[in-house]
Amino acid sequence: MDLWQLLLTLAVAGSGSAFSGSEDSSEKPKFTKCRSPELETFSCHWTDGVRHGLKNAGSVQLFYIRRSTQEWTQEWKECPDYVSAGENSCYFNSSYTSIWIPYCIKLTSNGGTVDQKCFSVEEIVQPDPPIGLNWTLLNISLTGIHADIQVRWEPPPNADVQKGWIVLKYELQYKEVNESQWKMMDPVLSTSVPVYSLRLDKEYEVRVRSRQRNSEKYGEFSEVLYVTLPQMSPFACEEDFQFPWFLIIIFGIFGLTMILFLFIFSKQQRIKMLILPPVPVPKIKGIDPDLLKEGKLEEVNTILAIHDNYKPEFYNDDSWVEFIELDIDDLDEKTEGSDTDRLLSNDHEKSLNILGAKDDDSGRTSCYEPDILETDFNASDVCDGTSEVAQPQRLKGEVDLLCLDQKNQNNSPSTDTTPTTQQPSIILAKENKPRPLLISGTESTQQAAHTQLSNPSSLANIDFYAQVSDITPAGSVVLSPGQKNKAGISPCDMPPEVASLCQANFIMDNAYFCEADAKKCITVAPHVEAESRVEPSFNQEDIYITTESLTTTAGQSGTTERAVSSEMPVPDYTSIHIIQSPRGLVLNATALPLPDKEFLSSCGYVSTDQLNKIMP
């Protein structure tokens, strides 16, 4: 027994390596494989080590033995079926097959054991290929390119899978028709399996093989199944899914444009300001355009008045008008002390008052409102005497009266639309005779008040407007027409001068002091004293009127010189008055050839008639 076991062991050991599957190139026949397809039968195959032309003498025989119940009592039995399994094979049917029992077979040739192997039947199971392969279409993808199929088959018919005697696992392989490499799927226990993602335009081959579940040996492949999928629909999309860049770009641009338009045309100012900032508008500094819009001209004017260049026109007009009116008034007051005397007096208060009074007087027609003038003047004394003060007032009053009378008289003759301010002058110019009367009247008044006249009073007989050229240290004002100090000049003290001045030189008169000249001339002739009184007044007039006259008067002792002097003091002030209808020019008397005394006596105001006379 032990020896037998040893022999058997050696035989098995010897055949082990041979049975492992290595291919030997030996001449002896040997087992190729033994397999059981269904765990019920098995068969063994061997190679017939055939030499060329040489065949073994003895036939090959197979003997087998199987151990049962731990006993090696059986003898080697010969193969029961050499035919069923083909040539060089031995087929063991189910009666000869015992599962879970070790078998040993040997191959003999000519009595000699050539090969031997031992195995158990459950270890050599290699099922037959499945049968009945078929496929069904599961679905087609939306793109119409791919499809899924379900492949079904039947287990090998000899395998009793139904009762569960044998459990099989299947492996499916598929490939495209023109491919060489098979794609393998995982083994499954079921007899159907889905195949996904097959292209519709390709043909596929499918095959299945099976194996016992715990074995590693696969059976033969089944027959190839050809899968021909239905053709693609003509409206199939392109092969590959391309990212719709085009659509995305279009929609993106559209969306952005919509947002942009929304912002631009939005009413919201904030967003609009962010996107389209407003262009700064140039602004004029200092002026709020809203003022102009609202029409507040006063405010605009106030703003603009800051700048020196801007002067409203009305202001100019009024000043000229004022000047004109003042000239008339001053002419009347020349003889009896004008504001200048008062200005030069130490009595500042009075001067102020006078000025105040005079202010009231100025700007107004001298013919009007005589009461106020008289009262004012009476209130203020320039030269220690109210008479002097009153004198010019009286003079003025007389003048005014005269003006009034003359006015009444001259209303008809001077139908020109001359302003009333001119009437007195005109009247005076035209009617010289009343002048002497006037002057005489003034003289009388002046004589009466001569003693009372003080220097400043005589000095006061100056026009209302006098250009101030300088201010003396003493505090007195030096008026432009005269370079000499007014303070020092006392018309009362200068009778001869006055007399000299009193030459009836109408030419000398200022443009707007025709009355003074007339007074001068008249007073000089009859009375020296009067002249003296008057002269200074006249002198004064001349003094503050023109510097030249002052100088001339100072130097002149006689009136003749005065009269002779052709120099005609050019008044600093030349008034130009524009007459409404035909424009009349107030000309300087000196500049014009004055054929008529009448004309010379003009105060500088030239009426149209006079103008016509002058000019051909």
Partner 1 sequence: SDNTAGSLLLLLLLVSDLLLCQSVASLPICPSGAVNCQVSLRDLFDRAVILSHYIHNLSSEMFNEFDKRYAQGRGFITKAINSCHTSSLSTPEDKEQAQQIHHEDLLNLILRVLRSWNDPLYHLVTEVRGMQEAPDAILSRAIEIEEQNRRLLEGMEKIVGQVHPGIRENEVYSVWSGLPSLQMADEDTRLFAFYNLLHCLRRDSHKIDNYLKLLKCRIVYDSNC
What is the distance in angstroms between the CA of the first residue and the CA of the last residue of the chain? 187
Q: Please list, in sequence order, all residues whose beta carbon lies within 8 angstroms of the beta carbon of residue 112, skipping any fewer than 6 positions away.
A: none
Q: Which is nearer to partner 1, 120 or 483 (CB)?
A: 120
Is 11 a residue that touches partner 1 (CB under 8 A)? Answer: no
Which of residues 13, 264, 275, 276 is near partner 1 by CB under 8 A? 13
Q: How far is CA 400 from CA 378, 392, 407, 424, in A?
A: 16, 11, 9, 8
Binding piece for partner 1, criterion CB under 8 A, among 68-76, 226-234, 339-347, 498-506: 68-76
Note whether 99 binds partner 1 by CB under 8 A.
Answer: yes
The SS3 assignment for 209 reads strand
Q: Which is nearer to partner 1, 9 or 316 (CB)?
A: 9
Tell me which DSSP letter residue 125 carries: B
Q: Which residue has the tokens 């003074």?
A: 516
Site string for partner 1, 342-361 (x = CB under 8 A): --------------------
For 420-457, b where at least 16 C-beta lie within 10 A, e where not — what string?
ebbbbbbbbbbbbebbbebbbbbbebbbebbebbbbbb
Query: Is residue 157 close enough to count as binding partner 1 by CB under 8 A?
Result: no
What would the two tokens of residue 24 be? 């030997």
Distance CA 551, CA 572 (A): 15
Can residue 4 be called a binding residue for partner 1 (CB under 8 A)?
no
Residue selected from 77, 183, 213, 583 as contacting partner 1 according to rule CB under 8 A: 213
**Rounded (5°) CA angle 330-335-338:** 45
In this structure, the dihedral spanned by the alpha carbons of residues 564, 570, 573 and 575, taken in order and rounded to 10 degrees, is 80
Residue 451 in the binding site for partner 1 (CB under 8 A) = no
Instruction: Tell me the number of residues near partner 1 by CB under 8 A.
Output: 33
Tell me: does residue 305 bind partner 1 (CB under 8 A).
no
Q: Min. distance of Cβ 161 from partner 1 in angstroms?
A: 9
SS3 3: helix
- Taking CB under 8 A as the criterion, the residue among 68, 136, 257, 408 binding partner 1 is 68
Q: Is residue 10 a contact point for partner 1 (CB under 8 A)?
A: no
Per CB under 8 A, the segment of 66-74, 247-255, 328-336, 409-417 that binds partner 1 is 66-74
The window from 101-109, 488-496, 507-515, 549-557 that contacts partner 1 (CB under 8 A) reads: 101-109
For the bound state, the minimum distance from the C-beta of residue 84 to partner 1, rounded and expressed in Å, comes to 18
Q: Which of 27, 48, 81, 122 binds partner 1 (CB under 8 A)?
A: 122
* 560 near partner 1, judged by CB under 8 A: no
Establish if 139 lies at the interface with partner 1 (CB under 8 A).
Answer: no
Q: Which of residues 400-439 bind partner 1 (CB under 8 A)?
A: none
Q: Which of 28, 30, 40, 219 binds partner 1 (CB under 8 A)?
A: 40
Do 505 and 517 meet the contact criterion of CB atoms below 8 Å apart? yes
Outline where 236-312 has alpha helix (H): 245-264, 269-275, 289-294, 297-305
Pick from 257, 260, 241, 239: nearest CA to 249 = 257
- For residue 6, count CB atoms less than 10 angstroms from its CB and return exposed for 0-12, middle for 13-18, buried for 19 or more: exposed
Whole-angstrom distance, CA of residue 440 vs CA of residue 33:
181
Token pair of 326, please?
């003042």
Specify the residue, 212 or 556, whose C-beta has the smaller distance to partner 1: 212
**Of 167-206, which residues contact partner 1 (CB under 8 A)?**
167
Per CB under 8 A, the list member of 56, 98, 191, 192 interacting with partner 1 is: 98
The whole-angstrom separation of Cα 601 and Cα 597 is 6
Nearer to partner 1, 126 or 540 (CB): 126
Q: Which of 230, 77, 209, 221 is nearest to 149 (CA)?
A: 230
Contact yes or no for 534/519 (Cβ under 8 A)? yes
CB of 70 to partner 1, least distance (A): 5
Using the rule CB under 8 A, is 94 a contact of partner 1? Answer: yes
Q: How far is the CB of 6 from partner 1 (least distance, A)?
A: 10
Which CB, 59 or 214, lies closer to partner 1?
Answer: 214
- CA–CA distance, 204 with 202 (Å, rounded to integer): 7
Residue 63: enclosing H or E segment and its boundaries? Answer: strand 60-66
CB 485 within 8 A of CB 300: no
Among 7, 50, 83, 101, binds partner 1 (CB under 8 A): 101
User: Among residues 45, 76, 102, 416, which is the contact residue for partner 1, using CB under 8 A?
Assistant: 102
Give yes or no for residue 228 binding partner 1 (CB under 8 A): no
Task: Report the distance separating Cα 273 and Cα 320, nearest Å.
Answer: 56
**Considering the rule CB under 8 A, would residue 473 count as an interface residue with partner 1?**
no
User: Rounded to the nearest whole angstrom, what is the least distance from the CB of residue 91 to partner 1 in the complex?
Assistant: 16
Sign of the torsion angle spanned by Cα atoms 451, 456, 459, 460: negative
Interacting span for partner 1 (CB under 8 A) from 4-12, 304-312, 428-436, 509-517: 4-12
Kindly list the distances between the CA atom of residue 247 and the CA atoms of 38, 251, 256, in Å, as whole numbers in the listed order.
Answer: 62, 6, 14
Q: In the complex, what is the shortest distance from the CB of residue 76 to partner 1, in angstroms, rounded to a whole number?
A: 15
Of the candidate residues 16, 230, 244, 356, the single one contacting partner 1 (CB under 8 A): 16
Q: Which is nearer to partner 1, 97 or 455 (CB)?
A: 97
**70 in contact with partner 1 (CB under 8 A):** yes
User: Which x/- pattern over 498-537 shows residues binding partner 1 (rule: CB under 8 A)?
Assistant: ----------------------------------------
Q: Quote the least distance from Cβ 27 to partner 1, whole Å.
A: 25
Is residue 214 near partner 1 by the rule CB under 8 A?
yes
Rounded to whole angstroms, how far apart are CA atoms 424 and 414? 11
Contact stretch for partner 1 (CB under 8 A) within 1-9, 169-177, 277-285, 510-518: 1-9
Pairing relationship of beta strands 112-120 and 77-78 according to DSSP bridges: unpaired
* Interface positions with partner 1 (CB under 8 A): 5, 8-9, 12-13, 16, 39-40, 67-70, 94, 97-104, 118-120, 122, 160, 162-165, 167, 213-214
